[in-house]
Structures are given as C-alpha cells and as structure tokens.
Amino acid sequence: MGQAMNTEGRKGLKTRGSADVSYLGRYVDEMIWEFMEKREIPGLTLAIVQAPYIPRVAGYGFSSEKERRLASVNTMWPAGPISQAFAAVALMQLHERGTLNVEERAAKYLPELPAAWSGITLLELLRHASGIADYHKRQEWSAAEGFDFTKAVALVKDIPLVFVPGSGVELSATNFAILTEVIERVSGMSYRAFVKKNQIDFLGLRRTAFAEELDKFHQEDVSLTGNVHERFKKDPLCIDPAETAVSYGADGEKIAPEAVSSLRGFSDVWASAQDISFWDIGLAGTALIGRAENKALVYSPWKLPGGDTVPAVAGWHFYGHRGLMDIKGLVPGYSSFLSRFTDASELVCVTLMANREGVDFTNLGRRIAAAFGGTIATNYDDGRLFLYEGQFSVEESVARLERELKKRGIPLFAKFDHRKNAEDVGMELRPTTVLVFGSPKVGTNLMLADQSISLDLPLRISIWEDENGCTWLAFPRMELLASAYGLEDHPVTGRIEALLEELTIAAGSVY
C-alpha cells in the first residue's frame, strides 16, 4: 500500500482553531478572488462551520452588480437545490411524529395520483428513484405562473416512467412536488408554513424565507438615489441590510424571484449563507431529525435491487471520505453549494452562494475546507491539478466518462489500465486508469500557436483509488500547463479547461 503525497509539507496537521486559513500557500480570500475572476462571478458569500461555531462569514463582490449592492453576511440568495434538504427534513419530522410512514405508498396520502404511480413510495420519491418525469422541464411549464400541484402532475402524468420505481435514479422536481403535497395533506398546514414553523422559526433563522415573503425584508430602493444607499443615515433598519441577491439575464434584465424559486420543495428557499450554515448545524445533532435511523434514510447511500450502491438521497451526494456529503446545483442566474465534513474529528462545513449560473463549487469548496482542517486535504497537488472526489468506483467512473465522451462526440484515443499493466509484471497497484481523448480541431489551434505543446496533448483524465478507498478524478490545470508555452491567454485554453471540468463532474457525480 503506497503512501499518499502530503502536498502541504507541514510538520503536523493543522489543528482546530488555527489562525492559519491557507491551503498550499493560498489563503481563502485568494482562492475565492481567483475563482471569481476566472468565472466572472459578480458576487459571492462564503460561510464556514466548525460546529458548533460559524467562525467565518464573508461577502465578496456585488450581490447586485448594476445597483452596486455589496455581497454581505446578510445577503439572501436562492438556495436552489439545497431547498430539497429542507423538504427532506420536513418529511422526516412527520415520519418521526408517526403521522406518516416514508415506506408507505404516496397514493395512500394522495389517492388522485395517476394509476401508473400507485406503487411508488415516499422513500422512492425522496431518493429520486420513482422514474417520474420532471414537470419543470416540460415546455408548457411557466415559472412565472407560480407553483400549482395539479398542473405539475398533469404535465407528466401520461409520460411513461423512465424506469421501474426503485430500480434507478434520476433527478426530478416532480418527486418533491408530490412529497410537499403529502406534507400539506398530513400536517394540515401549507408546506411553506410547516417549514417556517418547524425549521426557520424553530432555529431562529432571520435571513431565510420563501419567495412570497421576500417583500417583508427592509430594502432601500437605491435606484432613486443613483444606486447609493442613503436611508441608513437616519433609519437603523437600513444599517447592515438583509438584501436579496440579483442576477441578470442575457437581455440585461433582472431575473425575477419566481423564475428561481417556483419549484415547491425543489427550489423555493431563499437564505443567507450564514443561515444555511446555522441550519446545517441543526442537522448535526437531534434538533431537526431526532433518531439516528431516520437520519440514515436521508444522509446515507442505499442499494438498488441488483446490489449497486446509490451515493445520493434528496439531492445530497455522498463520498468515500468519512462523513463527507454535499448538496449543490444551479437555478437561472445563481449557483449554490453546501458541503459537510461530519466526522467528529473534522466537523467542518462550507457554504458558497453566488449570482452566476452554472458554477460547480466542489473543487473550490474542498480546498477551502482543507484550509480549516488538515485531515480534509486531498493529499495531492491541488495547485497543479483539478481534483474531484468521485462517488463511484474507478471502474464505474471510467465507464461513465467513456459514455460522456461518446455522447459529446469526442474521440477516445487510448485507455491505459495501469493496475493491469502492473499485474502483468508481477506488481500491485490500486485501480488507476487514464483516458486519452480530444478533438484534433481544438488541439491543432494550440499547436498552431506553439507546436511544442504537442508534448502535452491530447487531453487526458486520470481516475484512481487512493489508500482510503476514495475515487479521484483529475487533470492538469490547463491554464498552468498552457502558461509553460506562453498560451495561458489563448481563447482555446479556457474552453478546454471548462470542458475537462464538465467531463470530470459528469463522470464522478450521480446527479
């Protein structure tokens, strides 16, 4: 068994409470600034949990670029897919009270559901294992019209199930539309009121709300004063305000709140990064879900009938690193991320929320977490490599990457199974496979600028299993590689790096 490379080069692991919040010589602020510059992110808020503390919350850039509002501790962002986690807690709270049973069929509580869905259980809906089509992907769905359960069901009721319930996984907002309707029927309250009472108000979250409630937050209309705040000078309610973040569409117009928060239970919560972190601490103990066996239904991998493990529930992803889970995703104009290192020796969580669509914070979040806990580091060179901890075995990750390449029409030139090569010479090596691929048209553009870069082409992604059984996917950071040839500013370089990230994430993630 080999020894992983300790790229930190420290004499000892960073201990809890260390004032040094750097990783590989890069401070957290540097990492975030460089990340925002590269991806043209207008504004972002970071919150760090070292349970039971929230020792760091910081805003960067603008929560509303045109209005010159600053991203701050109090900025409220669309939580996007993190909203599923609120819905999952609500469901389990009713389960613990004995007013419903997640093993029961949803049709027991909603007898009007289509006959084809009659055998689907609440747990299968929670696991996105129902096979029901996603209503919000139908052309007829309009976010501007708001959520309507009857319409949502009508849009997909005649579409055949994608798979036999319980035999596969596919993300669908319809699953959570049904779950939240069950919550309403069983609790006798609106879904929004139930969550507000049992999570938002219970935990005292002052910067968390649903879109319908955003107008209760005191926000100055700075368009009347040349985008300069004035009222804080005489009105204490305007000091350190809780403002809602704003993102702008391709037409330059504000993206309306209903466009990002009309999917009940799936994408409907607005919250500050600090409130998400406070709520996250509530998950750590028994404040929100009391019994361990119930938490396991929401926060643990599960198995398909054939024995394959599914490392995801209710939008949460699970990994090989002990106690690591995250939930992330995007809505029009925004991206959000929450990762939790729940092992008792770590207890570090990272929340990142930004007004730029299509941003995957997983790699950045891991590096930020490592700045607060020495055992969280990848143990590889994060400065030189883009590293992504995958959710599947090396074999399955390789197969998923091959499928993704084929889907995109990208030719695979070679596949090197280094473990097998080692066995052929009587040596042992953990699973390690490199896929070599690329587009001659893209690569040629770089070689026309400097033919010597041919030494580093075609593209490649390595997938391996480390000594802890975790799967890693990695590729050389293209900007650094290209800089050796003076091509870091070549337009193709950024496009290649973006493609490699997309391929890596697709191969390593269940959703």
**Helix, strand, or coil here: 91?**
helix
**Helix, strand, or coil here: 355?**
coil
- Give the percent of the chain with pLDDT over 90: 81
Which pLDDT score, from 0 to 100, does residue 220 have? 82
Q: ∠ CA(333), CA(335), CA(338), 5° rounding? A: 160
What is the arithmetic mean of pLDDT over 239-263? 91
Cα distance between residue 359 and residue 355, in whole Å = 9
User: Residue with structure tokens 């809602």?
Assistant: 244
Confidence at 6, pLDDT banded by 50, 70, 90: very low
Q: What is the largest CA-CA distance in the chain?
A: 79
Q: Please say if the pLDDT value at position 5 is more than 60.
A: no
pLDDT tens-place string over residues 22-81: 999 899 999 999 999 999 999 999 999 999 999 999 999 999 999 999 999 999 999 999
Q: Please say if the pLDDT value at position 426 is more than 70.
A: yes
Name 23's bridge partners.
26
Mean pLDDT of the chain: 93
Q: Please say if the pLDDT value at position 233 is more than 90.
A: no
Cα distance between residue 47 and residue 64, in whole Å = 19
Spatial contact of 120 and 102, defined as CB atoms under 8 Å apart: no
Which pLDDT score, from 0 to 100, does residue 12 have? 56
**Bond prior to 257 in cis (omega within 30° of 0):** no
Cα–Cα separations (whole angstroms), residue 283 to 28, 78, 147, 280: 25, 20, 28, 5
Question: Which of 129, 507, 49, 78 lies closest to 312, judged by CA?
Answer: 129
What is the arithmetic mean of pLDDT over 403-413? 96
Cα distance between residue 510 and residue 326, in whole Å = 12
Name 436's bridge partners.
414, 460
Which pLDDT score, from 0 to 100, does residue 2 have? 40
pLDDT tens-place string over residues 199-215: 999 999 999 999 889 88
What is the arithmetic mean of pLDDT over 450-456? 93
Residue predicted with more confidence, 463 or 51: 463
Confidence at 259, pLDDT banded by 50, 70, 90: confident
Residue predicted with more confidence, 230 or 30: 30
Confidence at 8, pLDDT banded by 50, 70, 90: very low
pLDDT tens-place string over residues 315-325: 999 999 999 99
| 147 φ, ψ (degrees, to nearest 5) | -80, 135
Model-wide pTM > 0.95:
no
Phi-psi region of 222 (alpha: psi -120 to 50; beta: other; left: phi over 0): alpha
Q: Please say if the pLDDT value at position 443 is more than 80.
A: yes
